[in-house]
Structure 1
Amino acid sequence: MAQNFWKSSHAQQWIFDKTEIWKQRGEDMKVYNEEEYNRLNIFWANFITAVATEYAHSHANGGYKLRQQMIATAIVYFKRFYLRQSFRDICPFLVASTALFLACKVEETSIPTSASSFLKHTSTVLQKRWAVPFEPNPAKHGGIYDPEFLLVEILDCCLVVHHPFRPMAEFLDDFRQFSLSASGTNTPVKDTDAIEAQCQKVANDSLRCDVGLIFPPHIVALSSIIVAMELMGRGEELEGWLVEVDVDIEKVIDCVDQIYKMYTLWKSFDEKEEVKKLMAKLPKPNSPITHQQQQPSTSNNYF
């Protein structure tokens, strides 16, 4: 599937430049400034991951496991949805739960549940991690007729997401082969398991910024490797290999820079305190939305 990326809906419909992304978020940017929205990007990814983890723990004895790729797909669905909709249109907690459920089906994760099963863990997660109260009642939060149908419609049925995980594995294998040939001693790269784990972590963390909406997966993959190796204090080991890699280096530099900026923001982000303030500014949802029409607002608030 990776070799078909450039013919995919992901490549043709869901890659944007930064200016276009912020323009599409125009309605919500009347409420949040750019830094606040970037903090929200970190929060939403952390929140979706936490809900998925809470769900998995609640079914620990049932043998159900939620793979990271499924969580990554759900985060991408959520981010894409709010490029075309405002937080005012529908409660993001409802969208997050629906995105998790849809991602489970697309990524073929076996689950005996529904979107509401994820939604009921929302209250637990918000209260436990962020001390934010929430009543998991879809009808109160701009409830919709068939939320899954609406999510699929807004995504234009573009449900296959190309993640950086596969090209990253290919890059790492190529790096190992290059290192062996360059050394002339058949000495393998040291601590390959630790390198792979760190690269995987950075790729997962990159979901907390917009690089997946701006760059193709192989650029995010290579950037994740560079950041991971630099964080391990081993960036110089990549220098000879990077010269041989056929990529748009300007895009890689831009992507690396955005990942570092996300880490800097995340490090200064006191989630437990700041999320409350960000949630207080969250636009109130309109009245129930169906896939046919949106009606005047009658609901009160999220909490």
Structure 2
Amino acid sequence: MAQNFWKSSHAQQWMFDKTEIWKQRGEDMKVYSEEEYNRLNIFWPNFITAVATECAHSQANVGVKLRQQVIATAIVYFKRFYLRQSFRDMCPFLVASTALFLACKVEEHTSLSVSSFLKNTSLVLPKRWGVPFETNSTKNGVVYDSEFILVEILDCCLVVHHPFRPMIEFLDDFRQFSLCASGTNTPVKDTDAIEAQCQKVANDSLRCDVGLIFPPHIVALSSIIVAMELMGRGEELEGWLVEVDVDLEKVTDCVDQIYKMYNLWKSFDEKEEVKKLMAKLPKPNSPIVHQQQQPSTSNNYF
């Protein structure tokens, strides 16, 4: 896994330091403060997850459920796209739907109705966030057109290395270490609950920039540390962490960023604040958008 990662486009083209990330977001930072953008970093993954859930429940996709890895890949595509483009360049709602559509292909997931991605985009905003949204575009071609642009902006770098696999390997190693250290062959308690909490934290980490800064094994180990601390069992990791061959300085930085995201999320009243953030969202000037827009007094983004 590690060898494959370090030779991948993910490692060679899509890892940055914090300063570089905010510099690349310069155009959007003329509109939003850093704290507002961090709130958007929480909102967009929530929005993509909501669209994925609606797609799975829609009549056109009865019985189909998107795997979490598909959703995670779509979120990474979205975040990468807006490192190289601004919200003004292309409608983020369209990019979000297209990222999900593309992620289904790349992760070899069951095919979903193309039109459902667009339709459910206009459903989840008023349903969950109370933001009015209308689209005049119901044609499947708009997704195919934007898919071409998305792939181009991503430099065809579509394979994403997530922290889920190294996290499982770390947890297995921790369980083996605990067995040997106890000398009684007593397994770690509640291993299923620990793994579920670690998976949740890893998923939540998509709501900050750690996936753009650190390699997957650092995010994985950080997710385990945060998860165990949230469960009140952080001290159980102390002996094992000393034995793990990783850069603990990077792990500490990653853990701090995850906690900062959680603290911001706690104070983020999405129902109210998303309306204000969306009111500041620049109107896109993408050629695709112009082809689809019709004169209207409502907020037509497609």
* TM-score above 0.5: yes
CA contact (8 A) 2:135 2:300 kept: no
Q: Point out the more displaced range, 96-105 or 57-66.
A: 57-66
CA contact (8 A) 2:115 2:138 kept: no
CA contact (8 A) 2:52 2:71 kept: yes
State how many pairs are aligned.
299
How far apart, in 2, do the equivalents of 1:197 and 1:253 lie? 22
SS of 1:140 mapped into structure 2: coil
| Closer/same/farther in 2, CA of residues 59 and 70 from structure 1, 3 Å limit | farther
| Closer/same/farther in 2, CA of residues 240 and 178 from structure 1, 3 Å limit | same
CA contact (8 A) 2:101 2:117 kept: yes
| Closer/same/farther in 2, CA of residues 103 and 240 from structure 1, 3 Å limit | same
How far apart, in 1, do the equivalents of 2:169 and 2:40 lie? 32
CA contact (8 A) 1:55 1:121 kept: yes
- Distance apart, 1:136 and its partner CA: 2.8
| Closer/same/farther in 2, CA of residues 176 and 300 from structure 1, 3 Å limit | closer
- Distance apart, 1:297 and its partner CA: 16
Deviations 1:70-123 (A, max 9, x none): 000000000000000000001100000000000000001xxxx35432111011
- Distance apart, 1:138 and its partner CA: 4.3
- Distance apart, 1:302 and its partner CA: 3.3
| Closer/same/farther in 2, CA of residues 296 and 222 from structure 1, 3 Å limit | farther
| Closer/same/farther in 2, CA of residues 148 and 140 from structure 1, 3 Å limit | closer
Deviations 1:24-73 (A, max 9, x none): 00000000010000000000000000000111112597331200000000
CA contact (8 A) 2:133 2:300 kept: no
- Distance apart, 1:2 and its partner CA: 5.2
SS of 1:289 mapped into structure 2: helix
Residue 293 of structure 2: aligned partner:
294
State the TM-score, normalized to the length of structure 1. 0.92
CA contact (8 A) 2:118 2:138 kept: no
How far apart, in 1, do the equivalents of 2:28 and 2:255 lie? 26
Deviations 1:200-250 (A, max 9, x none): 000000000000000000000000000000000000000000000000011
CA contact (8 A) 1:286 1:296 kept: no
CA contact (8 A) 1:142 1:288 kept: no
- Distance apart, 1:135 and its partner CA: 1.2
- Distance apart, 1:300 and its partner CA: 7.6
- Distance apart, 1:124 and its partner CA: 1.1
Q: Point out the more displaced range, 136-145 or 259-268.
A: 136-145
How far apart, in 1, do the equivalents of 2:140 and 2:147 lie? 16
Q: Point out the more displaced range, 257-266 or 288-297.
A: 288-297
Q: Unaligned 5+ residue runs, structure 1?
A: none
- The 5 A counterparts of 1:152-167 are 152-167=151-166
CA RMSD of aligned residues (A): 3.3
| Closer/same/farther in 2, CA of residues 273 and 299 from structure 1, 3 Å limit | closer
CA contact (8 A) 1:80 1:155 kept: yes
How far apart, in 1, do the equivalents of 2:293 and 2:16 lie? 27
Residue 12 of structure 2: aligned partner:
12
CA contact (8 A) 2:164 2:199 kept: yes
Deviations 1:156-198 (A, max 9, x none): 0000000000000000000000000000000000000000000
How far apart, in 1, do the equivalents of 2:133 and 2:140 lie? 10
| Closer/same/farther in 2, CA of residues 287 and 75 from structure 1, 3 Å limit | closer
CA contact (8 A) 2:134 2:300 kept: no
SS of 1:250 mapped into structure 2: helix
State the TM-score, normalized to the length of structure 2. 0.92
The answer on 1:44 being equivalent to 2:33 is no
Deviations 1:121-143 (A, max 9, x none): 01110011001011133499996
Identity %: 90
CA contact (8 A) 1:140 1:299 kept: no
SS of 1:139 mapped into structure 2: coil
How far apart, in 2, do the equivalents of 1:25 and 1:298 lie? 30
CA contact (8 A) 2:57 2:63 kept: no
SS of 2:292 mapped into structure 1: coil
SS of 1:251 mapped into structure 2: helix
